[in-house]
Amino acid sequence: MSEIFNVYCDESCHLEHDHQKAMVLGAIWCPLDKGREIAVRLREIKQKHGLPSGFEVKWTKVSPAKTGLYLDLVDYFFDDDDLHFRALIVPDKSKLRHDAIPGQDHDTWYYKMYFDMLKVIFHPDARYRVYLDIKDTRGAEKAAKLHEVLCNNMYDFSRSVIERLQLVHSHEIEQLQLADLLIGAVSYLNRDLRGNQAKEALVARVQERSGYSLLKTTLYQEEKVNLFRWQANEVQG
């Protein structure tokens, strides 16, 4: 029987007119049968730092007072061989020219980018359950469309590979919170932000543990921290 994986997806600065230069789509994935064990361990790390297990980890909450917590969470990700991370970086959304491609608008491009981000994770001989953080009122519509796009691009018309794509609340899912943290680190660096010592410490830890600058594309087969830096001219030139 084929192995089942859970895939937890999140995004940073994905809106077309949000005045943010870079966009990052990302996902953490792990075997289904390891999901509960990982969630328990992540809650234990919060409790070790004097926080309730229900405390929601978010990149926007990173502060000097909780730097130790966030560094421990990053280290746990790198120490657990069952956890993997993939991110697609769009370094400059201002270079996008949707009108240059017939039938493309920001939404259709967004779904293409999501497929480009996830396609490295999917293998035809395994099965996947994809979980997305609920961001806005269009969440259900976007989730249904994304499931359709992913399955069509995978020739998975019976939905036997991508079994489900489900909207969830990040405060209920530990792995989604961890994804938010790693995406936040990649996004912070690629948006050329400075001045938050706690966030810079986390970025440095991810760079140190991964061995990557987080600014460039990694090898396609990289299994732990797999990054793809997308350039508009690659598709639209």
Residue 144: predicted pLDDT: 87
Tokens (6 digits) for 63: 């502060």
CB neighbours of residue 168 within 10 Å: 14
pLDDT in tens, 66-114: 999 999 999 999 999 999 999 999 987 666 655 556 566 667 778 888 8
- Quick: pLDDT tens for 20-55: 678 899 999 999 999 999 999 999 999 999 999 999
User: What pLDDT sits at residue 189?
Assistant: 94
Q: How far is CA 98 from CA 19, 51, 90, 110, 168, in A?
A: 17, 45, 14, 11, 30
First to last CA, the chain: 44
Measured between alpha carbons, how far is 185 from 183 in angstroms, rounded to an integer?
5
Q: How many CB atoms lie within 10 A of CB 187?
A: 23
Inter-residue contact 63 to 197 (CB < 8 Å): no
Residue 90 Cα to chain centre, angstroms: 13
**Strand order across the beta sheet in which 225-229 lies:** 162-168, 127-133, 4-12, 23-31, 84-90, 225-229
Q: What is the pTM of this model?
A: 0.90
The domain 4-236 is placed in CATH, from the list 3.30.420.10, 3.30.9.10, 3.40.630.30, 1.20.1260.10, at 3.30.420.10
Q: Is the pLDDT of residue 176 over 60?
A: yes
Give residue-wise pLDDT tens across range 54-72: 999 999 999 999 999 999 9
Quick one: DSSP state of residue 49? T
**Stretch 164-175: mean pLDDT, rounded?**
92
Q: Which pLDDT score, from 0 to 100, does residue 104 have? A: 63
Residue 98's identity, in one-letter code, is H
